[in-house]
């Protein structure tokens, strides 16, 4: 019962948030809706026995990423309302609707018909058990850590490269053009 | 529950030699960044030299690894995260060639356009790293991460021309669409993971074998995942209808970056596509083969048709690149007739094609870089007018490269096309083969247009006022290498064909 | 074609025929521009040397022997079963010789107006490509040469042509390339499908032709793929429209080569790769080709009649003449096929000469419009005389070369394609009409002011035309040596066709009353 | 001597080659003499060969001389070979004989022409071709000559090519002849594929093995060829126009020799004709007769001195075909020879008149020339009587024989033949009267010929008159070679017997019986025609009936011309336009279509990333639909 | 309990599918590049949710590891993306997706 309630409530957060991102005119509101969704997902993570991820979700996603979004919005003053009533491309929105409906139906069908019970040889579980097989409070973290630093150590190292790229990239992008340099706007087309 | 706390963590056995190309690239990038940050005014050419050296080192290591693989067969590295086989080494070599040639191209370019040298080169190095990892990835996770590494570096590189709004615009477009398609890809990975219980490419089939008695309905989710993975990869290779970014980005990006994208990035994407589709998803080959065929046809036709109506050379070459992707997809389709192995004619035809095309396109864009002039903006067809008179040698080189792209015999382009057609014919995909050739004819018009502009077109008033085309020595070297390779492979394809995996 | 007899002399003549011009082209291109004269000499010498080798091949060729001679085979791309396999037989021999002869003449006789060196380099490359196409006995190799020919020709038209050169060059390139696109698939498919028998892929023409046994429908599809490429090249109606443009816009030298040898790639290919490889399909497709050829003969002639540009008249006449060749090829009788091959040469000579003459007119008057030209015979009788001889050859007056091939085609085809021949033969009427009409308008009547200072034929031009005239007369009077070299190959080809397809050549009905040999009657006298 | 057959055509060929190289240096008149000598040499050789053949028994009177294989057609090889037999020798003799005379004549006639040597170059080439035609041992060599004479005819008709009409006439001759050549080629095709050879000897030996249909086809196709060459309906059009050429040309080519090639061919093929269906010979006879009548009516109303002769030639050739159709091959050859004599005479005579009249050809501006040019007039009158069929001139005998055979075939043919004969006599009388008698009308022309100053017609030089006299003599006695009175006088028939088996003894009895009656009728008719002519033009008893429709040649030429220039040209234009618009249009249209599609698809490339995202999303949905719905659920 | 269904993995998957689709639609209809990024984040989250749900279903920790990496990627992406936007906005304030159409055709 409680699971059901949690699921419904969290799903509502997720969906409302998601719709909010798409439909709120103000970028700040959109960002805040995103937070809602992220929290909802975090709740689901907990329900799905991914405690550590739930925490990371809140800290990294909601805490860092969205804040970054908001920061940029404020920095650039991109707080202008987006008029969602006008759409320069007449077909864009009908297409979007059709695509949305079709996609949700197709993906829905695809995942809905998948079976929950079919796993013949279930994996080793998402949490590490104790000596006697009792559940450990940090079983999930240990399992995750073993997996990440063991099996996926190459991927983990790769993320470091990814982050280097992100850092260097931001440096390159953020550098201002030196004064006096002519620009070649419009000359490209 | 299988595991408990006592289970030992899977510590990887590290084959440092096998990983050395990646480490070289990372090391070079970091050295460049650190030193670059410490010593603001870098001597000219130093960044190029470092990148070139790294590229050559990767190339040498690649050759050594090739011989190792030749001797000992393929092997899995770092807890099965990376597959070291000929495909990986192949794209390593392409990356090496790409790095050398792009760095040479962008040497003069960086000075001309006054762009940050060390950072740009570091990004090339890291993108190459990502490309190699992508090609070698034996896990969808690694694949995703490598793809993102490469892509992020490219997003930045594309937007790195600070004084061209076109560059930034294309960077943003590439970023949004790239992120979009990455998300699609990731979602596909999730569904496939749900279907097979694994993200490891070589294990998927094994995992599947475990599940033969499963509820077949999981199959549907699995298939949805296949669809989305294909979308993600098709986006990267620029297959229609996921190609729309290609033209804008190729045109907007600084020209050396364009050449890098068209060569190294595209090659890596194709190798990854082969690996994922044939090994990981080989079981569903019958399901996705028609899709690949349809994509190939669309890509060929749309790419060629769109190419001929363009007036900007970079844009033309962008659409021609799309068309070439279609050709390679024909090869992929042929390979998909023999899923589960990477030793089919189809696979080798694709690999041959990507290598050949990479070298071609690197040379071609090197010429475009030279012609594009200060501001990297004069890339319209008119800018090439009279090149045959003012710069006959470079125009001749460009002609060779264009003819090769058109698939004229005695150039590498023909060998590549022939390989693909052979592979398709070997699998009796007649229609695809014919359509591919017909669209090659359509595309030929575009190369002819550029050649006409260079050689035949009458001068127009004002032509003399244009600044003369400066061909720096590094660019000349790149073009020379490219042309030499093109002609050598065209005349004596035997050796290359012989070693293509 | 079974036994490949090699010539005793172990001299890589055929490889030289290809490589020498390539080398020459490279040298010509590399000579500094200041020393343009040296380049000219080098270019000419190269082509002359090539021509000499070609003629040596022609004369040293053992006539009356079937099978390939001067065979040279080296592996090229082992993994794909491709080899550098060259050889000539009666079918290709004359074309090789013609190529060898035409190029030096054109190079020596027709100067481009600018960029001499580049022009020469392209010309020599073109020669290499054409030679290669004629002597290749490997499908892949053939395709390489067949296709590479487009490039120099494209640049020759585009670089040294007339007003509409870009359009014409592009059209030529794309049209032909479109045709060969199908052929490439066909070649690959042929090799792949022929593989089944012995496991290894081979592109070797002879091996495939002799060993492979394609299913009926497969063979037809493959044949179609080849045939399209060649039909474009020939060009066969209705794929001919690139030709008038290309011919007209090309520089004179280009036109001569285009008409003289390039079109022959198509007719040669139809025979060598269409009929030889896919006999059953060729027999099956006979009606189509005969019909198209016949339409082409009439259509080309009619269109030629109404052209206003002298060069276009000649160009359309090529459409008609090539129609005869295709007619002969698909009549599949010994005389007709042989006649077609002879006609290849004859058309090359006479139309080549016509283009030279038209080029000379253009050089003098800077126009090719028939309406702008008038009364030239009065002011330049020798010029007119040369034109007349060539024209009569093109019309097909017996005693000149044009007649021999045409007649052999017609009479040979009559046995197996009676109705087509009946119609096609009317083409000779229109042939007279369009050439004579054009001649009348250009050469007859009183010259007007613009034409009255038309210079007479110069010595150098005369020397250029003289070999053509000699060939025109010689081949018209004594074609036997040519036919002797061609016919054995044709007969063995037809035997191959008959064996594979159930086709049987009609033979002239044996008369009931046995004829006495004329020689015997002489004895009685 | 028989070994020297090759010399017969070789001599004119040598003349041609010499003139080609040094003709201009030889100049006027040496070039002419050289050419004449060459043809005369041929004549002498011919005579030699003739005599030698005559010495042989009649069944051995054929000699084949093979030079080399010319065109191997599959297993059949066609040689360049000569056949000397009675027929070819007959032809050779009169071709070279008359040829020599005309050459000689031309040395005078062409005197002063700037292209003097070229004229003889062509003439020699013509002689060579004509000799190849008659001497060829097979159809193909004949065809070589056949086309060769056509080409020479073209050159010579348009010899004065500065005149547009001459140029046009030359072209017309060639093209019209080509229509006939098509027929001849078809005949060769049939012959080769049904007989396995093109050799005349072979054909005549094995013709009986031919099926009727094939034989008919060969005969009729060959007849088409003959119609073209010999200017029969409906292909006669070119011959009147051919009068644009210099008069010796008209005499040699368009009267005496070349135009009779058709008749020669049909006679050569008489064994085939014998096997052919009955209607084949009817077709030939009727076409011949119709042409004879048709041309004769036109000749009645012509005012150009040469045009009259041209139509007359057409008409006479019609007679010859009537003969062929009636089986009177000997008569055909006979008439061919006599016609050669008197028509050459008439043409040369007219040439002399034209020469003397400073290139005036309109008979209305002549008259009374007998005083100024007595020799010309005298010889012309001989010619007139010969063609009119007045005995004992040559024309009478040959025409009589033809009519006899025509009667044998059908009295209707005979009746119409008589009408043609009477018309012949009539219009020739008209011509003679208009040119040589009556009052001098050339003074009217003074204004136009003002440049000539004082204008008086003069007699031609001797070199031109000698041929006239010789030919006049031949026209008088030519009939002697075949006289109907007794078998032994059928000399030509005996001579030709090896080639033409059908002779007078094949006639039905009824015809034989009234042979002399018919002869009498012919005499009456000829005299009637002459009388009528005299009555109308000399005595002016009756008004001349020269309706426009006749002067215009029944408007046939004009109809054909306007058809060719109108609908014919439109059709050609149409096809050419179709070629440019439809065929080429399809090609260019494809190119344009690609560009169009490109421009349309290009609009989807909006530059807006949202559109691109939409494209990707649609792609995703389509792929999902394929995988999930078609591959998964279903 | 029997009357009330317990949420199964499938439920989560369907939810994720819905969120994913919403994200896709968002990218298509929003013009503000920042919001477009957010929509992409939605899509990534949908994938993450699926991974975690499937990890639970399969009893396999790997799905969770993936999510960890994805979060890193998301962070890096956002950094670069926002860097791009900042760079562009510096030159063209308040630019929207519809304005960035210099390159087209």
Nearest to D608 among E27, E30, E98 (CB): E98
Measure CA D597 to chain center: 61
* 3-class state of residue B500 by DSSP: coil
Within an 8 Å CB–CB cutoff, is residue C150 touching chain B?
yes
Closest CA to C334 of C463, C486, C223: C486
pLDDT at D453 (0 to 100): 46
D205 vs C307, C399, C515: nearest CB: C515
Same domain, A77 and A3: yes
Q: Which of D597, D613, D623 sits opposite B227 (nearest CB)?
A: D623
Contact flag A165-B149 (C-beta cutoff 8 Å): yes
Residue C367: pLDDT band (50, 70, 90) is confident
**Predicted confidence band at C524 (pLDDT cuts at 50, 70, 90)?**
very low
Query: Would an 8 Å CB–CB cutoff place A184 in contact with chain E?
Result: no
Q: Is the model's pLDDT at A181 over the cut of 80?
A: no
- Give the pLDDT score at B206: 63
Instruction: Tell me which chain B residue has its CA closest to the CA of residue A176.
Output: B162
C-alpha–C-alpha distance, residues C428 and C437, integer Å: 14
pLDDT in tens, B436-479: 999 999 999 989 999 988 888 877 777 777 788 888 888 999 99
Contact E105 D605 (CB under 8 A): yes
Mean pLDDT of C188-201: 77
Q: Give E29's contacts in chain D (Cβ within 8 Å).
A: 610
DSSP code of residue B83: E
CB pair distance less than 8 Å for C79 and B430: no
**Which residue among B172, B186, B247 sits closest to E84, beta carbon to beta carbon?**
B172
* Mean pLDDT confidence for D458-483: 86
CB-defined contacts A:D, below 8 A: 39
Q: Measured at the alpha carbon of residue B297, what is the angle toward residues B152 and B271, in degrees to the nearest 5? A: 40
Give pLDDT, residue E80.
92
Show which of residues 84-113 on chain A sit within 8 Å of chain B, judged by CB atoms: 106-107, 109-111, 113
Closest CA to D243 of D299, D309, D301: D309
- Top residue of D579, D594, D595 to mutate, by most chain C CBs within 10 Å, is D579
Are residues A1 and A76 located together in one domain of the fold? yes
In a domain, residue A41? The reply is yes
* Alpha-carbon gap: C141 to the closest alpha carbon of chain B (Å): 9
Give mean pLDDT, residues D109-129.
88
- Give me the residues of E, 14-53, that contact B with CB < 8 A: 16, 20, 23-24, 27, 33, 36-37, 40, 43-44, 46-47, 50-51
CA D156, CA D203: separation in Å to the nearest integer? Answer: 34
Residues of D in contact with E36 (CB under 8 A): 609
Give CA–CA dist E57/E66, Å, rounded: 15
B116 and A182 within 8 Å at the Cβ level: the answer is no
D146 or E105: which leads in pLDDT: D146
Asked whether residue D499 carries a pLDDT value surpassing 90, the answer given is: no
Instruction: Test B126 with A165 for CB contact under 8 angstroms.
Output: yes
Q: What secondary structure, in 3-state letters, does B213-244 show?
A: CCCCCHHHHHHHHHHHHHHHHHHHHCCCCCCH
HEC string of D71-91? EEECCEEEEEEEEECHHHHHH
- The confidence band for A188, taking pLDDT boundaries of 50, 70 and 90, is very low
Longest Cα–Cα distance of chain A, Å, equals: 72
- Final residue of a structural domain among A19, A46, A81: A81
Using 50, 70 and 90 to split pLDDT, how confident is the model at C469? very high
The values of phi and psi at residue D72, to 5°, are: -80, 125
Q: What are phi and psi of A123, to 5 degrees?
A: -70, -165
Q: Are residues A71 and A133 in the same domain?
A: no
E95: contact with A, CB 8 A cutoff? no
At C75, which helix (H) or strand (E)? strand C69-77
Are A62 and A5 members of one domain? yes
Does residue B103 have a pLDDT over 80? yes
In angstroms, the CA D398 to CA D386 distance is: 10
Q: What is the DSSP letter of D357?
A: T
Do residues C282 and C497 lie in contact, with contact meaning Cβ atoms separated by under 8 Å? yes
Residues 6+ apart with CB under 8 A from C355: C247, C252, C255, C256, C259, C311, C314
Q: In chain C, pLDDT over 90 holds for what percent of residues?
A: 32
Among A81, A108, A134, give the residue marking a domain's end.
A81
User: Under an 8 A CB cutoff, do D618 and A89 touch?
Assistant: no
Of D147, D193, D209, the CB nearest to C414: D193
A12 and A76 belong to one structural domain: yes
Task: Report how far apart, in Å, the C-alpha atoms of A96 and of each of A92, B452, D614 are.
Answer: 6, 43, 7
- B177, D598: Cβ pair inside 8 Å? no
Distance from the Cα of D143 to chain C's closest Cα (Å) equals: 7
Helix (H, G, I), strand (E, B) or coil at E55: helix
Kindly tell me if the per-residue pLDDT of D545 is higher than 80: no
Give the single-character DSSP code of C2: -
Could you please report the per-residue DSSP string of D154-177?
Answer: HHHHGGGTTSHHHHHHHHHHHHHH
- Predicted confidence (pLDDT) per residue in D195-227, tens digit: 888 888 888 888 888 888 888 999 999 999 999
Give the distance from residue B440's alpha carbon to the nearest chain C alpha carbon, in angstroms. 8
One domain for residues A74 and A135: no
* Domain-located, residue A97: no
Give me chain A's average pLDDT, please. Answer: 82
Q: Do B172 and E104 touch (CB under 8 A)?
A: no
Provide the number of CB pairs (under 8 Å) joining chain A to chain B: 185
Among A81, A109, A141, the domain-final residue is A81
Of B408, B433, B498, the CB nearest to C185: B433
Angle between helices B345-372 and B392-406 (to 10 degrees): 150
Q: Which residue in E has a C-alpha nearest to residue A119's C-alpha?
A: E58
CB contact (8 A) between residue C444 and residue D73: no
Average pLDDT over residues B85-97: 93
| Residues of B with Cβ-Cβ distance to C181 under 8 angstroms | 434, 437-438, 440-441
Q: Using omega within 30 degrees of 0 as the cis cutoff, is the peptide bond preceding D234 cis?
A: yes
Beta carbons of B6 and A131 less than 8 angstroms apart: yes
pLDDT tops 90 at residue B96: yes
pLDDT in tens, D430-457: 888 888 888 877 765 555 544 444 567 7
User: Would you call D608 an interface residue with chain E, using a CB distance cutoff of 8 Å?
Assistant: yes
CATH at A6: 1.20.120.1200
**Exposure on the CB side of residue C495, measured as CA atoms within 13 A:** 11
Chain C residues closer than 8 Å to B430 by CB:
185, 189, 221
Task: With a cut of 70, say whether residue C512 has pLDDT above it.
Answer: no
Average pLDDT estimate for C124-151: 91
For D623, the closest of B177, B231, B247 (CB atoms) is: B231
Find out whether D361 and D354 touch, Cβ atoms under 8 Å: yes
Rounded Cα–Cα distance for residues B285 and B340 (Å): 9
More confident residue, C139 or D490: C139
Please indicate, yes or no, if residue A64 is contained in any of the structural domains. Answer: yes
Say yes or no for a CB contact (<8 Å) between A89 and D610: yes
Domain coverage including residue A134: 126-178
Task: Considering only the beta carbons, identify the residue of B152, B176, B194 that sits closest to E54.
Answer: B194
Q: Is residue A92 part of a domain?
A: no
A182 and chain E: CB distance < 8 Å anywhere? no
Range A23-45 average pLDDT: 91
Range scoring the smallest mean pLDDT among A154-158, C78-82, C514-518, D73-77: C514-518
CA–CA gap between residue A54 and residue A33 (Å, rounded): 18
Chain E interface includes A13 (CB < 8 A) = no
Contact B62, A135 (CB under 8 A): no
Strands (E), B289-439: none
Residue C523: which pLDDT band, with cuts at 50, 70 and 90? Answer: very low
Shared-domain flag, residues A68 and A10 = yes
Say whether E65 and B162 touch across the interface (CB within 8 A). Answer: no
Residue C508 has its nearest CB partner, among D62, D192, D583, at D192
Report if residue A113 sits inside a domain: no
Q: Mean pLDDT over residues B5-16, rounded?
A: 71
Q: For residue A172, tell me if it sits in a domain.
A: yes
How far apart CA D381 and CA D469 sit, in angstroms, is: 11
Q: Please state the rounded mean pLDDT for residues C52-69.
A: 85
CB-based contact D218:D269 (threshold 8 Å): yes
- Looking at the structure, tell me whether residues A76 and A1 fall in a common domain: yes
- Decide: A and B in contact? Rule: 3+ Cβ pairs under 8 Å: yes
DSSP assigned state of B262: I
User: Using the 8-state DSSP alphabet, how is residue B437 labeled?
Assistant: H
Q: What are the C-alpha distances in Å from C231 to residues C176, D386, E11?
A: 9, 62, 64
Highest mean pLDDT among A47-51, B255-259, D372-376, D475-479: B255-259
Average pLDDT of chain B, as a whole number: 88
Q: Which residue has the higher pLDDT, B358 or B199?
A: B358
Max mean pLDDT among B151-155, B383-387, C212-216, D355-359 falls in B151-155
Peptide bond into B8 cis (omega under 30): no
- Going by pLDDT thresholds of 50, 70 and 90, the confidence category of residue C299 is very high
Q: Burial code of B450-484, b = ≥16 C-beta within 10 A, e = fewer?
A: bbbbbbbbeeeeeeeeeeebebbebbbbbbebbbe
Binary contact (D627, B287; C-beta < 8 A): yes
pLDDT at residue B332 greater than cutoff 60: yes
Number of domains in chain A: 2
pLDDT band of residue C522 (cuts 50, 70, 90) is very low
Contacts of D584 in chain C (CB under 8 A): 241
Q: Is A15 among the domain residues?
A: yes
pLDDT at B146: 95
Segments in chain E below pLDDT 70: 1-4
- Closest-CA residue of B relative to D600 is B306
Distance from CA of B392 to the nearest CA of A (A): 26
Cβ contact (<8 Å) for C398 and D193?
no
Distance of CA B124 to the CA centre of its chain: 13
The yes-or-no verdict on residue A182 having pLDDT over 70 is no
Question: Mutate which of D604, D608, D611, D619 to disrupt the B interface (most B C-beta within 10 Å)?
Answer: D619
Partner residue opposite B441 with nearest CB, options C145, C178, C188: C178
Assigned domain for A23 exists: yes
* C-beta separation of C379 from C480 below 8 A: no
Number of neighbours of residue C26 by Cβ within 10 angstroms: 13
Mean pLDDT, residues C514-518: 39
Say whether both A2 and A67 belong to one domain.
yes
Do chains A and E have 3 or more beta-carbon pairs under 8 angstroms?
yes
Q: Where are the beta strands (DSSP E) in C161-303?
A: none
Say if the Cβ atoms of B194 and A114 lie within 8 Å.
yes
Give the tens place of pLDDT for each residue, B133-180: 999 999 999 999 999 999 999 999 999 888 888 898 999 999 999 999
């Amino acid at each position: 019962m409680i699971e059901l309630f949690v699921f419904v409530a969290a799903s509502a957060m997720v969906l409302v948030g998601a719709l909010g991102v798409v439909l709120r005119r103000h970028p700040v509101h959109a960002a805040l809706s995103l937070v809602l969704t992220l929290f909802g997902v975090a709740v689901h993570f907990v329900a799905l026995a991914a405690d550590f991820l739930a925490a990371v979700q809140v800290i990294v996603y909601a805490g860092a990423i969205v804040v970054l979004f908001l920061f940029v919005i404020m920095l650039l003053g991109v707080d202008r309302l987006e008029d969602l009533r006008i759409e320069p491309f007449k077909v864009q929105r009908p297409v979007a609707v059709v695509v949305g409906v079709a996609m949700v139906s197709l993906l829905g069908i695809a995942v809905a018909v998948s079976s929950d019970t079919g796993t013949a040889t279930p994996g080793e579980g998402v949490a590490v058990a104790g000596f006697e097989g009792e559940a450990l409070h940090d079983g999930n973290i240990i399992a995750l850590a073993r997996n990440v630093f063991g099996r996926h150590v190459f991927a983990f190292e790769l993320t470091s490269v990814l982050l280097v790229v992100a850092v260097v990239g931001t440096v390159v992008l953020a550098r201002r053009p030196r004064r006096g340099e002519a620009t070649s706007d419009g000359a490209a087309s | 529950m299988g595991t408990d706390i006592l289970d030992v963590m899977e510590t990887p056995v590290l084959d440092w030699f096998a990983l050395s190309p990646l480490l070289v690239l990372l090391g070079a990038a970091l050295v460049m960044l650190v030193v670059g940050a410490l010593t603001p005014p870098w001597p000219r050419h130093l960044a190029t030299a470092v990148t070139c050296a790294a590229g050559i080192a990767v190339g040498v290591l690649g050759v050594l690894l090739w011989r190792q693989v030749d001797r000992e067969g393929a092997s899995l590295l770092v807890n099965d995260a990376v597959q070291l086989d000929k495909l990986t080494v192949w794209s390593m070599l392409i990356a090496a060639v790409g790095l050398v040639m792009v760095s040479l191209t962008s040497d003069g370019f960086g000075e001309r356009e006054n762009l940050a040298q060390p950072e740009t080169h570091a990004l090339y190095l890291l993108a190459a790293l990502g490309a190699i990892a992508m090609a070698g990835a034996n896990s969808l996770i690694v694949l995703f991460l490598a793809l993102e590494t490469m892509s992020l570096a490219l997003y930045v590189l594309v937007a790195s021309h600070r004084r061209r709004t076109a560059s930034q615009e294309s960077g943003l477009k590439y970023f949004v669409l790239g992120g979009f398609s990455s998300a699609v890809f990731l979602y596909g990975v999730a569904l496939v993971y749900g279907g097979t219980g694994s993200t490891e490419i070589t294990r998927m089939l094994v995992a599947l074998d475990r599940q033969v008695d499963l509820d077949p309905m999981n199959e549907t989710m699995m298939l949805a995942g296949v669809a989305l993975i294909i979308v993600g990869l098709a986006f990267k290779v620029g297959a229609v209808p996921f190609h729309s970014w290609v033209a804008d980005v190729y045109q907007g990006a600084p020209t050396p970056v364009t050449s890098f994208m068209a060569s190294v990035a595209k090659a890596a994407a194709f190798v990854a596509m082969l690996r994922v589709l044939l090994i990981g998803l080989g079981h569903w080959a019958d399901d996705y083969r028609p899709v690949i065929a349809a994509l190939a046809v669309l890509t060929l036709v749309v790419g060629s048709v769109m190419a001929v109506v363009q007036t900007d050379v970079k844009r033309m070459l962008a659409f021609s690149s799309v068309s070439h992707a279609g050709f390679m997809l024909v090869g992929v389709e042929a390979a998909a007739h023999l899923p589960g192995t990477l030793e089919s004619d189809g696979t080798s035809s694709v690999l041959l094609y990507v290598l050949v095309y990479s070298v071609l396109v690197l040379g071609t864009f090197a010429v475009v870089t030279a012609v594009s002039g200060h501001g990297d903006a004069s890339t319209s067809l008119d800018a090439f007018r009279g090149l045959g008179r003012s710069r006959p040698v470079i125009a001749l080189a460009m002609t060779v490269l264009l003819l090769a792209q058109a698939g004229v015999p005695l150039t590498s382009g023909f060998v590549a096309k022939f390989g693909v057609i052979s592979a398709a014919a070997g699998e009796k995909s007649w229609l695809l083969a014919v359509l591919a050739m017909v669209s090659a004819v359509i595309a030929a018009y575009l190369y002819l247009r550029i050649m006409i502009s260079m050689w035949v077109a009458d001068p127009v008033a004002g032509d003399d006022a244009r600044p003369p085309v400066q061909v720096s020595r590094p660019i000349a070297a790149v073009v020379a290498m490219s042309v030499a390779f093109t002609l050598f492979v065209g005349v004596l394809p035997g050796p290359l064909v012989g070693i293509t995996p | 074609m079974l036994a490949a007899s090699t010539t005793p002399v172990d001299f890589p003549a055929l490889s030289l025929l290809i490589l020498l011009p390539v080398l020459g082209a490279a040298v010509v291109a590399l000579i500094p521009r200041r020393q343009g004269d040296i380049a000219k000499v080098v270019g000419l010498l190269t082509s002359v040397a090539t021509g000499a080798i070609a003629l040596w091949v022609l004369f040293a060729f053992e006539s009356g022997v079937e099978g390939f001679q001067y065979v040279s085979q080296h592996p090229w791309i082992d993994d794909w079963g491709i080899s550098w396999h060259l050889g000539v037989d009666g079918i290709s021999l004359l074309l090789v010789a013609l190529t060898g002869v035409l190029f030096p003449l054109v190079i020596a006789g027709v100067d481009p107006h600018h960029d001499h060196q580049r022009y020469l380099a392209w010309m020599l490359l073109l020669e290499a490509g054409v030679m290669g196409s004629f002597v290749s006995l490997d499908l892949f190799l053939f395709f390489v040469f067949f296709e590479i020919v487009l490039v120099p020709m494209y640049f020759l038209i585009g670089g040294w042509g007339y007003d509409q050169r870009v359009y014409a060059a592009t059209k030529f390139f794309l049209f032909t390339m479109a045709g060969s696109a199908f052929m490439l698939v066909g070649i690959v498919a042929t090799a792949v499908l022929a593989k089944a028998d012995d496991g290894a892929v081979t592109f070797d023409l002879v091996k495939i032709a002799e060993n492979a046994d394609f299913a009926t429908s497969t063979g037809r599809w493959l044949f179609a793929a080849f045939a399209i490429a060649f039909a474009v090249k020939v060009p066969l109606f209705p794929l001919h429209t690139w030709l008038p443009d290309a011919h007209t816009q090309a520089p004179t030298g280009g036109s001569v080569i285009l008409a003289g040898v390039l079109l022959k790639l198509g007719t040669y290919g139809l025979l060598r790769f269409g009929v030889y490889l896919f006999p059953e399909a060729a027999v099956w497709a006979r009606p189509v080709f005969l019909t198209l050829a016949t339409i082409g003969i009439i259509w080309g002639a009619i269109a030629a009649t109404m052209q206003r540009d002298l060069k276009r008249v000649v160009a359309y006449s090529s459409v008609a003449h090539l129609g005869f060749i295709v007619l002969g090829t698909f009549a599949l009788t010994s005389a007709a096929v042989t006649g077609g091959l002879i006609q290849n040469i004859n058309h090359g000579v006479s139309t080549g000469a016509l283009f030279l003459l038209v080029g000379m007119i253009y050089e003098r008057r800077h126009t090719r419009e028939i309406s702008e030209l008038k009364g030239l015979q009065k002011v330049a009788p020798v010029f007119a005389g040369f034109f007349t001889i060539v024209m009569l050859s093109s019309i097909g007056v017996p005693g000149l070369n044009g007649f021999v091939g045409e007649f052999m085609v017609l009479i040979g085809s009559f046995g197996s394609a009676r109705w087509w021949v009946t119609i096609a033969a009317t083409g000779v009427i229109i042939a007279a009409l369009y050439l004579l009409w054009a001649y009348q308008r250009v050469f007859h009547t009183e010259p007007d002011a613009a034409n009255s200072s038309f210079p007479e034929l110069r010595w150098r031009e005369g020397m250029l035309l003289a070999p053509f005239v000699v060939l025109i007369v010689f081949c018209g009077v004594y074609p036997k040596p040519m036919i002797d070299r061609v016919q054995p190959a044709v007969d063995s080809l037809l035997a191959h066709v008959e064996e594979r397809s159930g086709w049987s050549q009609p033979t002239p009905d044996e008369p009931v009353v046995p004829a006495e040999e004329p020689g015997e009657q002489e004895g009685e006298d | 001597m028989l070994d020297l057959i090759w010399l017969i055509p070789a001599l004119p060929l040598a003349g041609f080659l010499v003139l080609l190289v040094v003709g201009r240096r030889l100049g006027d008149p040496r070039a002419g003499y050289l050419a004449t000598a060459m043809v005369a040499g041929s004549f002498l050789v011919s005579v030699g060969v003739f005599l030698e053949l005559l010495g042989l028994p009649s069944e051995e009177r054929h000699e084949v001389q093979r030079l080399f294989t010319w065109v191997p057609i599959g297993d059949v090889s066609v040689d360049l070979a000569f056949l000397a037999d009675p027929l070819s020798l007959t032809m050779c003799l009169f071709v070279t004989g008359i040829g020599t005379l005309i050459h000689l004549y031309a040395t005078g006639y062409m005197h002063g022409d700037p292209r003097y040597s070229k004229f003889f170059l062509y003439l020699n080439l013509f002689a060579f071709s004509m000799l190849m035609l008659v001497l060829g041992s097979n159809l193909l060599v004949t065809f070589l000559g056949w086309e060769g004479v056509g080409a020479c005819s073209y050159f010579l008709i348009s010899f004065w090519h500065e005149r547009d009409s001459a140029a046009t006439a030359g072209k017309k001759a060639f093209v019209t002849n080509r229509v006939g050549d098509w027929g001849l080629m078809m005949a060769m095709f049939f012959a080769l594929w049904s007989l396995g050879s093109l050799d005349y000897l072979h054909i005549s030996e094995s013709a009986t093995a031919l099926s009727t249909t094939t034989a008919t086809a060969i005969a009729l196709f060959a007849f088409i060829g003959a119609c073209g060459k010999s200017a029969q309906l409906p292909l006669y059009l070119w011959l009147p126009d051919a009068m644009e050429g210099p008069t010796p040309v008209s005499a040699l080519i368009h009267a005496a020799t070349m135009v009779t090639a058709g008749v020669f061919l049909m006679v050569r093929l008489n064994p085939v004709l014998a096997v052919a269906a009955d209607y084949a010979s009817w077709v030939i006879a009727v076409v011949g007769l119709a042409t004879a009548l048709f041309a004769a009516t036109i000749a009645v109303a012509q005012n150009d001195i040469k045009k009259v002769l041209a139509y007359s030639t057409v008409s006479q050739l019609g007679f010859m075909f009537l003969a062929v159709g009636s089986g009177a091959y000997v008569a055909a050859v006979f008439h061919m020879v006599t016609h050669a004599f008197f028509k050459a005479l008439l043409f040369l005579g007219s040439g002399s008149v034209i020469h003397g009249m400073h290139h005036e050809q309109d008979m209305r501006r002549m008259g009374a020339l007998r005083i100024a040019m007595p020799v010309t007039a005298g010889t012309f009158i001989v010619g007139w009587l010969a063609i009119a069929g007045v005995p004992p001139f040559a024309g009478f005998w040959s025409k009589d024989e033809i009519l006899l055979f025509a009667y044998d075939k059908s009295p209707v043919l005979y009746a119409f033949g008589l009408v043609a004969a009477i018309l012949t006599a009539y219009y020739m009388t008209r011509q003679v009267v208009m040119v040589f008698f009556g009052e001098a009308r050339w003074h009217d022309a003074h204004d136009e010929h003002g440049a000539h100053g004082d204008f008086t017609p003069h007699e031609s030089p001797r070199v031109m008159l000698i041929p006239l006299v010789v030919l006049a003599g031949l026209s008088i006695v030519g009939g002697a070679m075949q006289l109907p009175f007794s078998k032994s006088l059928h000399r030509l028939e005996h001579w030709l017997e090896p080639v033409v088996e059908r002779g007078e003894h094949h006639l039905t009895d009824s015809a034989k019986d009234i042979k002399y009656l018919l002869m009498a009728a012919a005499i009456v008719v000829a005299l009637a025609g002459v009388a009528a002519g005299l009555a109308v033009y000399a005595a002016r008893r009756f008004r001349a009936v020269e309706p426009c429709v006749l002067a215009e040649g029944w408007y046939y030429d004009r109809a054909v011309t306007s058809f060719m220039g109108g609908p014919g040209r439109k059709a050609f234009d149409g096809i050419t336009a179709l070629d440019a618009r439809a065929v080429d249009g399809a090609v260019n249209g494809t190119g344009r279509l690609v560009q169009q599609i490109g421009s349309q698809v290009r609009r989807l490339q909006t530059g807006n990333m949202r559109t691109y995202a939409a494209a990707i999303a649609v792609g995703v949905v389509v792929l999902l639909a394929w995988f999930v719905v078609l591959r998964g659920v279903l | 309990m029997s009357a009330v269904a317990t949420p199964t993995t499938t439920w989560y998957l369907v939810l994720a599918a819905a969120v994913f689709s919403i994200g896709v639609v968002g990218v298509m209809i929003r013009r503000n590049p920042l919001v477009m990024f957010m929509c992409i984040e939605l899509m990534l989250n949908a994938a993450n949710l699926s991974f975690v749900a499937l990890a639970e279903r399969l009893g396999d920790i790997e799905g969770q590891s993936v999510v960890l990496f994805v979060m890193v990627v998301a962070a890096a992406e956002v950094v670069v993306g926002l860097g791009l936007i900042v760079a562009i906005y510096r030159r063209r304030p308040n630019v929207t997706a519809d304005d960035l159409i210099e390159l087209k055709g």
